[in-house]
Amino acid sequence: MREFDWSVIGRSGDLLMAGTRLTVGLFLAALVLATALGLILALMRLSPVRPLRWFAGTYIWIMRGIPVFVTLLFAFFVARDLPGFGWLTPIWAGVIGLGIDGAAYKAEIIRAGIMAVDHGQHEASEALGMTKAHYMRRIIIPQSIRVIVPTYMSNSILLLKATSVAVGIGLVELTGITRQLSNSTFRPIELFTAAAFIYLVLTTVLVLLQEFLERRFALKT
């Protein structure tokens, strides 16, 4: 008969916090990369130039069709051997793997948001003599934000949880440190419960942020 010993969490507190910091860091860096690449891919898919549309469509099909774990393996084992990628440390491989995978989802979300803006807005902007680059930036994209926010945020919650997959390429983020601690202390129940709790706190913060942003961008009627 084994008793629970929750004091192990207090004794592992510093390491769990270090793991949490890496999880949050990976998440934020991957989110920036995914959003920037996703915006570029979305604009390519909406471009009148066929090769651009075709390239973005293929990229999205591939990235959405393979597991993020495989993308991470690619970033970790393959990309570092490519010329000019000598700087690719495991952490950067994690950021890039998560970022290029996330970009495919962000691209579809941004594209759907842009397409949801009434077509009359394009026509009106053109009638006022604005260039396409100008009215996309000033008229269309700002209006699409309202449509983009809910799906963008729930997708970002998935990205936060996907950072745990980085344990598969040896990163010691929250899941990785928990596994190591559980192996050395033989307290898997207590430690994995603590990790689950930390993830729940992080994802719940994002849910609250989503609700705040949805209210902030709601149409005032």
Enumerate binding residues for other proteins (CB under 8 A): 1-2, 61-62, 64-70, 73-74, 77-78, 81, 161-165, 167-168, 175, 178-179, 182, 186, 188-189, 192-193, 195-196, 199-200, 203-204
Instruction: Choose between 90 and 130: whose C-beta lies nearer to other proteins.
Output: 90
Least Å from the CB of residue 36 to other proteins: 23
DSSP code string of 136-176? IIIIIHHHHHHHHHHHHHHHHHHHHHHGGGGGGGT--SHHH
User: Which alpha helices (DSSP H) does the chain contain, by range?
Assistant: 7-11, 13-45, 50-65, 68-73, 90-115, 119-127, 132-135, 141-162, 174-185, 188-216
Instruction: Choose between 116 and 189: whose C-beta lies nearer to other proteins.
Output: 189
Least Å from the CB of residue 8 to other proteins: 12
Instruction: Choose between 18 and 70: whose C-beta lies nearer to other proteins.
Output: 70
Least Å from the CB of residue 62 to other proteins: 6
Least Å from the CB of residue 124 to other proteins: 33
Instruction: Choose between 125 and 156: whose C-beta lies nearer to other proteins.
Output: 156
Distances (CA, A) of 105 to 89, 120, 158, 166: 25, 27, 10, 18
The residue among 71, 66, 78, 63 whose CA lies nearest residue 94 is 71
Instruction: Choose between 43 and 96: whose C-beta lies nearer to other proteins.
Output: 96
Tokens of 186: 């033989």
Least Å from the CB of residue 106 to other proteins: 16
